[in-house]
């Protein structure tokens, strides 16, 4: 087997970021409530386990959200709908102070089980309790146990691919895994 000619050793963070960006994902807003109300756009959200029901998010150690998740035992995840690009952009701005001001421009509702803020109109919303955390380089992996969820079967999700927000436009085909 021949070596691929355009494979390069990893020296360039920008190239790594671009390569990571070829993996299309949905877009979520991770939220904390109580004494540390805060929200942050994240596409590292992943489902982990059905039994127990676990999800994960990877949070930059420099993010305000990292401190919030360290201080609180619960968090929310709102999976954004295709029309919620503004919310994705809003919550990807760094907020140095915690508090309700961050939520003035985007409508949120309070989770029934944990009280965490959840984005109104999101296509799925999860309320989670912190299950475990794992050190991972410049990020920490936070695993949450899903306590409650709600979903909207009719709306399409917002996507991010190659550093750009996208919408689903092509014909849909069943996955039979």
Ligand X SMILES: Cc1cc2nc3c(=O)[nH]c(=O)nc-3n(C[C@H](O)[C@H](O)[C@H](O)COP(=O)(O)O)c2cc1C
Of residues 30 and 146, the one with the C-beta less far from ligand X: 30
Q: Which stretch binds ligand X (CB under 6 A): 73-81, 88-96, 103-111, 119-127?
A: 88-96
Confirm or reject binding of residue 42 to ligand X (CB under 6 A).
yes
- The yes or no reply on residue 122 touching ligand X (CB under 6 A) is no
Give 148's contacts (C-beta < 8 A, 6+ positions apart).
111, 112, 113, 114, 126, 127
> From the CB of 139, what's the least distance to ligand X, in Å?
6
Q: Is 92 in the site for ligand X (CB under 6 A)?
A: yes
Three-class secondary structure of residue 161 per DSSP: strand
Which residue number places its CB atom closest to ligand X?
44
Q: Which lies closer to ligand X via its Cβ, residue 69 or residue 146?
A: 69
> Is the Cα dihedral 14, 45, 138, 134 positive or negative?
negative
* Nearest CB to ligand X, comparing residues 44 and 70: 44
Indicate the length of the chain as a whole number. 177
Q: Label residue 14 exposed, middle or buried (CB < 10 Å: 0-12, 13-18, 19+).
A: exposed
In degrees, to the nearest 5, what angle opens at C-alpha 167 toward C-alphas 162 and 168?
105
Applying CB under 6 A, the residues found at the interface with ligand X are: 27, 40-44, 58-60, 63-65, 88, 92-95, 160
């Amino acid at each position: 087997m021949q070596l691929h000619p355009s494979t390069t050793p990893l020296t360039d963070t920008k190239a790594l970021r671009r390569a990571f960006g070829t993996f299309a994902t949905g877009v979520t807003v991770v939220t904390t409530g109580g004494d540390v109300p805060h929200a942050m756009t994240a596409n590292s959200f992943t489902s982990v386990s059905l039994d127990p029901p676990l999800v994960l998010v990877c949070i930059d150690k420099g993010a305000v959200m990292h401190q919030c998740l360290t201080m609180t035992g619960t968090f929310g995840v709102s999976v954004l709908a295709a029309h919620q690009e503004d919310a994705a952009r809003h919550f990807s701005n760094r907020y140095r102070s915690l508090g309700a001001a961050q939520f003035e421009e985007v409508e949120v509702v309070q989770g029934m089980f944990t009280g965490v803020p959840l984005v109104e109109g999101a296509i799925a919303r999860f309320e989670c309790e912190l299950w475990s955390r794992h050190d991972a380089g410049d990020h920490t992996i936070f695993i949450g146990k899903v306590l409650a969820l709600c979903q909207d079967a009719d709306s399409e999700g917002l996507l991010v691919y190659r550093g750009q927000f996208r919408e689903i436009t092509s014909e849909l085909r069943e996955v039979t895994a």
